[in-house]
């Protein structure tokens, strides 16, 4: 089976979806399939080759196609970029053989279907239900959801249950097998070695709940420090003034994640309960990575989080409550068994196991010898 994975992203990218897509493609190849990742030819500040940047050991083909890169110009610019990229993908697919087309971008996939491409599989991460997502949910051969909450959402919207697969994000445990010692990691990051560290990794906006964590930094005892890996320079400059007790460490590449986690006493996933994607739809890559860290996790008590951990494998706290979060951080350090229970659970979330489930779903929906193109 030949699979064309269409991703309308900068590649490589520093954002988490780049990791997810790269690891998913590698896992499909490891399961014996031919995979071509098709991405737009957009400028990226990352100079490392994608395989090295994402730690890919089993290569897959990467095809960069023409696009008019106007994403920074707003909604109209995004539409122009998406249309020109989709047109390039259409031309490419007509010249090659693909048994299935897979992707996360409902607009591009909708254009491909209107252009005659069949056997399309849409992977949803956020509960999109706009014009494009409704169209592709109707016409795609299958919809892959990263959480049971997403599957339930699309079932309620009328998507036939047999067209939907729920499968969480994954992890390559080998990437996390040899982290640094806590002391070495802290010296490298410039974190005090004599403090207890609650570490957050990720974006500093949206539904990630970081404001709650920053407020918790004022509540924690003086022997604790909140440290943050992630964010943009302008964000950090503003936040540092408001939250002087927080250590803002800036952006760090994905390849450092296992070593950066090692600096923590406790890892924090403070998702908000104010946004549906956070409550029901997400399958957080960072939570899955934290489960492999042998460090206790504190996370918001939300349905999406409970799909991955429970009270035995994380300290779950009331979301959007800085006092509850601060208390949970301190409680986690007194309950180290949750870290080992989390590690036992994460071993079932291998990218290859995930890919096997997706491949069975694709083959059942289209048959082993179908073709996606005209």
Average of per-residue pLDDT across 283-301: 97
| The token pair that represents 294 in the structure block | 């042998």
pLDDT, mean over the chain:
96
Q: Which CATH number fits domain 2-170+350-366: 3.40.50.261, 1.10.150.20, 3.40.50.2000, 3.90.1150.10?
A: 3.40.50.2000
Characterize the bridge pairing of strands 142-145 and 120-124.
parallel
**Confidence grade of residue 370 (pLDDT, cut at 50, 70, 90):** low
Residues 97-113: tens digit of each pLDDT: 899 999 999 999 999 99
CA-based nearest residue to 350, from 142, 168, 122, 103: 168
Contacts of residue 157, Cβ cutoff 8 Å, sequence gap at least 6: 129, 134, 137
Residue-level pLDDT at 371: 60
Residue with tokens 């609650």: 198
Cα dihedral sign for 116, 121, 126, 130? Answer: positive
Side-chain half-sphere CA neighbours of 13 within 13 A: 18
Residue with tokens 């964000």: 235
Q: What CATH number belongs to 173-346?
A: 3.40.50.2000
- The pTM assigned to this predicted structure is 0.94
Q: From the centroid of its chain, how far is CA 306?
A: 17
Q: What SS3 string covers the chain?
A: CEEEEECCCCCCCCCHHHHHHHHHHHHHHHCCCEEEEEEECCCCCCCCCHHHHHCCCCCCEEEEECCCCCHHHCHHHHHHHHHHHHHHHHHHHHCCCCCEEEECCHHHHHHHHHCCCCCEEEEECCCCCCHHHHHHHHHCCEEEECCHHHHHHHHHCCCCHHHEEECCCCECHHHHCCCCCHHHHHHHHCCCCCCEEEEEECCCCCCCCHHHHHHHHHHCCCCEEEEEEECCHHHHHHHHHHCCCEEECECCCHHHHHHHHCCCCEEEECCCCCCHHHHHHCCCHHHHHHHCCCCCEEEECCHHHHCCCCCCCCEEECCCCHHHHHHHHHHHHCCCHHHHHHHHHHCCCEHHHHHHHHHHHHHHHHCCCCCCCC
Characterize the bridge pairing of strands 224-229 and 246-248.
parallel
d(CA 265, CA 201): 13
Say if residues 297 and 267 touch (Cβ distance below 8 Å). yes
**Confidence grade of residue 373 (pLDDT, cut at 50, 70, 90):** low
d(CA 167, CA 290): 19
**107-15-284 Cα angle (round to 5):** 90
Residue-level pLDDT at 367: 78
Residue-level pLDDT at 369: 43
Residue-level pLDDT at 205: 86
Average of per-residue pLDDT across 219-233: 96
| The token pair that represents 125 in the structure block | 């991460």
Residues 7-65: tens digit of each pLDDT: 999 999 999 999 999 999 999 999 999 999 999 999 998 999 999 999 999 999 999 99
Q: How far is CA 210 from CA 115, 204, 232, 252, in A?
A: 42, 6, 14, 17
Longest dimension (CA), the chain: 65
Residue-level pLDDT at 206: 86
CATH 3.40.50.2000 segments of the chain: 2-170+350-366, 173-346
N-term to C-term CA, the chain: 17
**Confidence grade of residue 199 (pLDDT, cut at 50, 70, 90):** very high
CA-based nearest residue to 176, from 361, 353, 369, 346: 346
């Amino acid at each position: 089976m030949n699979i064309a994975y269409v991703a309308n992203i900068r590649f490589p990218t520093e954002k988490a979806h780049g990791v997810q897509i790269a690891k998913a493609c590698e896992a499909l190849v490891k399961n014996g399939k031919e995979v071509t990742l098709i991405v737009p030819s957009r400028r990226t500040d990352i100079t490392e080759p994608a395989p090295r940047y994402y730690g890919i050991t089993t290569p897959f083909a990467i095809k960069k196609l023409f696009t008019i890169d106007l994403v920074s110009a707003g909604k109209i610019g995004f539409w122009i970029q998406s249309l020109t990229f989709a047109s390039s993908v259409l031309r490419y697919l007509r010249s090659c053989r693909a048994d299935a087309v897979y992707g996360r971008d409902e607009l591009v996939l909708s254009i491909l279907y209107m252009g005659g491409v069949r056997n399309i599989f849409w992977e949803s991460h956020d509960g999109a239900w706009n014009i494009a997502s409704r169209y592709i949910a109707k016409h795609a051969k299958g919809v892959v959801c990263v959480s049971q909450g997403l599957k339930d959402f699309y079932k309620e919207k009328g998507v036939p249950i047999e067209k939907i697969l729920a499968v969480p994000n994954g992890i390559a445990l080998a990437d996390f097998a040899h982290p640094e010692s806590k002391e070495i990691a802290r010296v490298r990051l410039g974190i005090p070695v004599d403090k207890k560290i609650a570490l957050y990794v990720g974006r500093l906006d949206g539904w990630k709940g970081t404001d709650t964590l920053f407020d918790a930094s004022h509540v924690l005892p003086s022997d604790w420090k909140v440290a943050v890996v992630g964010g943009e320079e302008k964000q950090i400059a503003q936040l540092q003034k408001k939250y002087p007790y927080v250590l803002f460490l800036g952006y760090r590449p994905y390849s450092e994640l296992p070593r950066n986690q090692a600096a923590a006493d406790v890892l924090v996933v403070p998702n908000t309960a104010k946004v549906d994607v956070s409550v029901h739809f997400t399958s957080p890559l960072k939570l899955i990575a934290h489960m492999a860290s042998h460090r206790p996790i504190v996370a918001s008590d939300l349905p999406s989080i409970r799909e991955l951990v429970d009270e035995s494998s994380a300290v779950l706290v009331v979301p959007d409550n800085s006092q509850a979060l601060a208390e949970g951080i301190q409680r986690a350090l007194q309950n180290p068994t949750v870290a080992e229970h989390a590690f036992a659970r994460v071993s079932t979330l291998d990218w290859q196991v995930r890919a096997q489930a997706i491949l069975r779903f694709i083959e059942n929906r289209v048959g082993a010898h179908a073709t996606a193109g005209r």
